[in-house]
Amino acid sequence: MDAPVTASPHLPQTLTGQVVHQPTADAEWWRTAVIYQVYPRSFGDADGDGIGDLPGVTERLEHLARLGVDAVWLSPFYRSPQKDAGYDVADYRDVDPLFGTLADADALIARAHELGLRVVVDLVPNHTSDQHAWFRQALADGPGSAARARYMFREGAGEYGEEPPNNWQSVFGGSAWTRVSERPDAPGSSWERDGQWYLHLFDSSQPDLNWDHPEVHEEFCSILRFWLDRGVDGFRVDVAHGLVKAAGLPDWAGHVRMVEGTDVEEGLAAAEDEVLAPDASDDVETGRSPMFDQDGVHEIYREWRAVLDEYDGDRILVAEAWVEPLERLALYVRPDEMHQAFNFNFLVTRWSPAELRESITGSYAANDAVGAPTTWVLSNHDVVRHASRLGLAETGKGPNGIGAEDTQPDAELGLRRARAASLLMLGLAGSAYVYQGEELGLPEHTTLDDSLRQDPAWWRTGHAEKGRDGCRVPLPWRSDAPGLGFSPTGRTWLPQPESWAALAPDVQEQQEDSTLSLYRRALALRAEHRLGAGAMDLVTAGEDVVAVRNTGEERPAVVVMANLGTEPVALPEGHEVLVASGPLAGGALPTDTTVWLRAQA
Ligand code: GLC
């Protein structure tokens, strides 16, 4: 039965719009690229131990070439004790045996290039692992040593130094300081009675580096060269806003959250109550935290940009920076710094037409002002997958993980909205990021057994936060194979939800209306019409509709319309449907559905 179609006084047949973005004339690949995030431990397993590896990625690269993406970004595969799933690096120039060898990395890069895919690797410069040679030496050499100067060691507060040097909290919960003598490896060691503390904005196994130290600069320039020489096309820079801390490490009682960043309001309130060091006055005014988004970080990226510019082939730096507002984020992508920054503003925007319009408009304004492409992202390895997030009563950033006893997302609603959100995102000019499995419409694993959780946030918050394991579950590849084809032995380091069998690519490939088919079609159209390089108008189409027109030279305009209202809206006349995220009933765009339209010649 066809739903009633809203008469649409607000949907003029001649769509009028307001220009929100004019592309630059530059045509470098990264300005328009769709970049697919591979989370190596969960993409594909070749050796059968149940943990994904680099040969497992190489074997499956054809899936990505067929999907139609331009590049792959790989989360860390370096030597690491895996306390934070590889974001704790012990050796930046080697591959962890869990994932393979350097030769496997070379083979992956070569195969990707053969298939026309660029390769971006992860760089983790804010902290090392506590198993890194530099930190082992810092522990052994003791207070005042040259080795300690590369990290953030301090004396404690209180009469006996028994209090942490300041009140900073770890992003994963608990204090951001650990006393050397309280480390689990202290008993019986030479640092058994060592009263100094070291800073770790994340887990205690991830000591922060001291970016005032010239050797730290030299080391990271050398690491960049190591991977550039091996042929990588760029780096995704982890916690890019964190490297420099405010001088004097002033107290700060605000809360820093992953992806979302500093809560500025909360920071302002906290600052009012506090006596801050004189050089923290800027933070008092802005509510910005003294550990993040300090102006000093930009010098580092200028230094790195110069290194990349020595190489041919348009290599890139991508900032993972949880920075607000968008104008501050845009500073990271000025012409002599990084090339792109993840647009977390878009990711955390609620499923609200007005807020989405504002995010789109604001993102273009901020990035266009510095000549950088706007990026779009809906999911990654740190947030609840958008097919589940958008099925929660409260959309937006979502909780840090969902457990069996929590209110469960509405799976059908979530998938419907996720498909609509993805199709909206892929119709926008700029560069887009796709997180592995979102092209299958995978939901979060929301009923994982607590005993299986590995995210340090789960432990460090005293189990208050479930953490990120639910978005990191091994991918399904074949519906009828053990472990859904993830591994030749059927082993998977986390169990897959039963519902995933029906979502395996071998099933979805046969279905014209599957999420996989939708992504393939959208990516092919995006490439054909060069939508990434388009100019954008925000089109007036009523309160409940997010509508943009993507125009380019020598091609008809493509109108992207998402209906977030409760009633279907009529489609404008004289347009041909290119692709839709769900069935269109009787010439109308149903609730939570996106369509791409082309003006009929
Ligand atoms: C980044 C990564 C996240 C990691 C954190 C610490 O936010 O995306 O997974 O836990 O940095 O390195």
Q: pLDDT per residue over 289-309, tens digit each?
A: 999 999 999 999 999 999 999
Atom of ligand 1 nearest to the CA of 87: 12
Distance in angstroms (rounded) separating the CA atoms of residues 453 and 458: 7
Ligand 1 centre distance from Cα of residue 235 (Å): 14
Ligand 1 centre distance from Cα of residue 244 (Å): 17
Query: In the Cβ-directed half-sphere of 558, how many Cα atoms lie within 13 Å?
Result: 31
Name the band, by pLDDT with cuts 50, 70 and 90, for residue 46: very high
Which pairing describes strands 261-262 and 340-341: parallel, antiparallel, or unpaired? unpaired
Q: Are 491 and 50 in contact (CB under 8 A)?
A: yes
pLDDT digit string (tens) for 312-361?
Answer: 999 999 999 999 999 999 999 999 999 999 999 999 999 999 999 999 99
Cα–Cα distance list, 186 to 142, 145, 176, 559 (Å): 12, 18, 18, 62
pLDDT at 250 over 90: yes
Task: State residue 4's pLDDT score.
Answer: 46
Task: State residue 17's pLDDT score.
Answer: 87
| Adjacent-strand bridge partners of 118 | 71
Distance in angstroms (rounded) separating the CA atoms of residues 12 and 574: 12
pTM for the model stands at 0.95
| Adjacent-strand bridge partners of 199 | 177
Name the band, by pLDDT with cuts 50, 70 and 90, for residue 365: very high
Tell me the best of 89, 122, 238 to mutate to test the pocket of ligand 1, counting ligand atoms within 8 Å of each CB and taking the most: 238
Backbone CA torsion sign across 179, 184, 187, 191 = negative
Q: How far apart are the first and last CA of the chain?
A: 31
Atom of ligand 1 nearest to the CA of 468: 9
The pocket around ligand 1, CB under 6 angstroms, is made up of 84, 87, 124, 202, 238-239, 258, 320, 381-382
pLDDT at 570 over 60: yes
Which pairing describes strands 316-319 and 340-341: parallel, antiparallel, or unpaired? parallel
pLDDT at 379 over 80: yes
Distance in angstroms (rounded) separating the CA atoms of residues 155 and 214: 22
pLDDT at 559 over 80: yes
Name the band, by pLDDT with cuts 50, 70 and 90, for residue 14: low
Query: Which amino acids are annotated catalytic?
Result: 238, 310
Task: State residue 16's pLDDT score.
Answer: 77
Atom of ligand 1 nearest to the CA of 382: 9
Query: What are the structure tokens assigned to 246, written together?
Result: 């405010």
pLDDT at 265 over 90: no
pLDDT at 216 over 90: yes
Ligand 1 centre distance from Cα of residue 134 (Å): 21
pLDDT digit string (tens) for 92-123?
Answer: 999 999 999 999 999 999 999 999 999 999 99
| Nearest Cα residue to atom 4 of ligand 1 | 87
Q: Percent of the chain beyond pLDDT 70?
A: 93
Q: Percent of the chain beyond pLDDT 90?
A: 90
- Beta strand extents in 511-580 (DSSP E only): 535-539, 545-551, 558-563, 569-570, 575-580
pLDDT at 560 over 90: yes
Ligand 1 centre distance from Cα of residue 87 (Å): 6
In sequence order, which residues have a C-beta less than 8 Å from that of residue 589 and are 6 or more positions away? 545, 561, 563, 568, 569, 570, 571, 580, 595
User: H/E element holding 416?
Assistant: helix 411-426
Query: What are the structure tokens assigned to 77, written together?
Result: 């595969």
pLDDT digit string (tens) for 178-199?
Answer: 999 999 999 999 999 999 999 9
Task: State residue 285's pLDDT score.
Answer: 56
Task: State residue 260's pLDDT score.
Answer: 76
pLDDT at 249 over 70: yes
pLDDT at 557 over 60: yes
Task: State residue 286's pLDDT score.
Answer: 62
In sequence order, which residues have a C-beta less than 8 Å from that of residue 417 and are 6 or more positions away? 351, 386, 390, 391, 395, 592
Which pairing describes strands 256-257 and 261-262: parallel, antiparallel, or unpaired? antiparallel
Ligand 1 centre distance from Cα of residue 171 (Å): 10
| Nearest Cα residue to atom 2 of ligand 1 | 238
